Structure 1
Amino acid sequence: MKLGKTQTLKIAEINNSGAFLESENGERAFLPKIFLDENAEIDNDVEVFVYQDDDRLKATTEIPNAEVGEFAVMNCVQSLPSGAFMDWGIIKDLFVPYKQQKGKIIEGKRYLVYVYIDEASGRITGTTKFKRNQNYENVPFKAGEKVDLIIAGQSELGWNVVINKKYLGLVYTSDVFKKLYPLSEEIGYIKTIREDGKIDVTLQKQGFVQNIDEFKQKILDKLEENYGLLYLTDDSSPEEIKEELQMSKKNFKKAIGGLYKENIIEILEDKIKLINEE
């Protein structure tokens, strides 16, 4: 039985309280009646998440925010001297021992938590202490692949991120063209998987050809918002362009060049203008 994982188990016994589910090797977990289908029968397969409750294996059809080996943003529901209890999406809260807290966890606040099995106790445990700059082997990504990100926090080089709930990576400051907030979710793209196993991520697709329509549309949207005028030109600073459009100066210049060739905009001394706009 895979502790802390979602899996398919077979119903071995049903009673008034629920059902005992059994794995292929004969291990059992109890599924409370509230999660049991009223038409369930012996030998039916059930997809469940398996966890511990008072040294007893239990199952639930609820979907946890994170399984063992994954990260998730969780809210603290109770903080005690011994540790904190986090809401991780199932009926039982996840315990983060005091020694596994990077800083004291405060009730009612949200934290990025990694779920693992503690070697000493054998129990599913949470931690807010993890190495931000991990070295991985056999990373299942390729350059340019679209991924889901959780913004972990800022560093000297940029922003630490969690990739697809399982891997830690970095978005360099030079690749950030929008305001980011810790614990928020973003879409990203794998930029580089380095020889040392570290993962670099970008918030935009690599290559101008892939992005040209996106950048042009962003400029057109901004022009529409500003009555056909945008006070940016080739001479505008990278900071001004980033603040206004969340893109690099290089991509801005290529995009307005394309719009100009398509006779959609005029490029004036101190601004760009939609053609046929009054």
Structure 2
Amino acid sequence: MQLGKTQTLKISEKTSSGLILTDESGEKAFLPKIFVHEEKEIDEEIEVFVYQDDNKLKATTETPLAEVGEFAVMGCVQSLPSGAFMDWGIIKDLFIPYKQQKSKIIEGKRYLVHLYIDERLDLITGTTTFKRNPQYQDLPFQKGDKVDLILMNESELGWNVVVNKKYIGLIYTSDVFKKLYPLSEETGYIKAIREDGKIDVSLQPEGFENIDEFKQKILDKLNDNYGLLYLSDKSTPEEIQDELQMSKKNFKKALGGLYKDKIVEILDDKIKLV
């Protein structure tokens, strides 16, 4: 049985209060009746998330915000001296012991939480204390891959981010072209996997093969402004960033492509749709 993971189990027994589910090794988990929305038969398979409640394995068809080994933003539903209970999307709240809190968790506020198994207690546990910019091995990414990001915090180098809910990476300040906010979600791109196993991320794809995205962004802005945009290849990086949330390098590439295709006319201080 994979504690804290979504998995497919087989129905081995039906009771008045729910279903007994079994894995290949014979280990059992209980699925309460409230999660059984249609008639099920013995030996039928069902996909569930397995967790603990009252020292017993239970299952739910609900989807948690995160599984063991993943990060998610969660709201605190109750804060006690011993720890805090977080809403993680299923019927049972996630417990974060006081010693696993980077700072005192306050009821009603949202926090970035990482899930792990407490080996001493064999319990699914949350923590808000985790290593920044760690080193990894055998990462499932290649340069240019599109990824989902959760913004963590701003540092001297840039922004620490969670990549695809599992890994911590870094967006350098030079690659930030718009206002970012902690705990918000963004789309990003793998910029580099460094030799030391650290992940560099960009908010924009790189290279001419991705320039269509930037060309479309300029066209959308032109259409929103009646065919005129008061930017040119002489505009400052800050002006381009404020207006289009892209780097001047990508702006010039995209603008050159639009000009070559005879879609825009470039004037001294503005761009005009042809």
In the superposition, the TM-score normalised over structure 2's length comes to: 0.95
| Partner of residue 244, structure 1 | 243
More deviation, 107-116/246-255: 246-255
Cα offset, 1:254, TM superposition:
2.3
SS of the residue corresponding to residue 111 of structure 1 reads strand
1:60-119 CA-to-partner distances (Å, cap 9, x unmatched) read 111111110011111111111111111111100000111111111111111110000012
**d(CA) in 1 for partners of 2:52 and 2:8?**
17
Cα offset, 1:251, TM superposition:
1.8
* Residue 261 of structure 2 corresponds to residue 266 of structure 1: no
SS of the residue corresponding to residue 40 of structure 2 reads coil
1:196-238 CA-to-partner distances (Å, cap 9, x unmatched) read 110111111121x223222222222222222332222222211
**d(CA) in 2 for partners of 1:273 and 1:13?**
70
**d(CA) in 2 for partners of 1:158 and 1:168?**
13
**d(CA) in 2 for partners of 1:228 and 1:12?**
66
SS of the residue corresponding to residue 117 of structure 1 reads strand
Mapping of 1:103-252 within 5 angstroms?
103-207=103-207, 209-252=208-251
**d(CA) in 2 for partners of 1:39 and 1:264?**
60
Runs of 4+, deviation exceeding 6 Å:
none
**d(CA) in 2 for partners of 1:253 and 1:144?**
20
**d(CA) in 1 for partners of 2:38 and 2:252?**
63
Mapping of 1:3-14 within 5 angstroms?
3-14=3-14
* Distance change (3 Å), C-alpha of 1:100 and 1:266: same
Cα offset, 1:242, TM superposition:
0.9
| Partner of residue 63, structure 1 | 63
* Residue 94 of structure 2 corresponds to residue 94 of structure 1: yes
1:13-65 CA-to-partner distances (Å, cap 9, x unmatched) read 21111122122222111111111244212222221111111111111111111
**d(CA) in 1 for partners of 2:220 and 2:24?**
57
**d(CA) in 2 for partners of 1:69 and 1:254?**
40
Cα offset, 1:10, TM superposition:
1.6
Give aligned-pair identity as a percent.
76
Where does the alignment leave 5 or more consecutive residues of structure 2 unmatched? none
Q: Partner letter of residue 72 of structure 2?
A: A
**d(CA) in 2 for partners of 1:2 and 1:147?**
26
Count of aligned residue pairs for this structure pair: 274
Q: Partner letter of residue 72 of structure 1?
A: A
Where does the alignment leave 5 or more consecutive residues of structure 1 unmatched? none
SS of the residue corresponding to residue 134 of structure 2 reads coil
Q: Partner letter of residue 118 of structure 2?
A: D
**d(CA) in 1 for partners of 2:268 and 2:162?**
43
Q: Partner letter of residue 259 of structure 1?
A: L
SS of the residue corresponding to residue 219 of structure 1 reads helix
1:175-195 CA-to-partner distances (Å, cap 9, x unmatched) read 122222211111111111111
SS of the residue corresponding to residue 160 of structure 2 reads strand
1:105-156 CA-to-partner distances (Å, cap 9, x unmatched) read 1111111100000122111000011111111111111111111111112111
Coordinate RMSD, CA, aligned: 1.4
SS of the residue corresponding to residue 13 of structure 1 reads strand
Q: Partner letter of residue 10 of structure 1?
A: K
In the superposition, the TM-score normalised over structure 1's length comes to: 0.94
Q: Partner letter of residue 250 of structure 1?
A: K
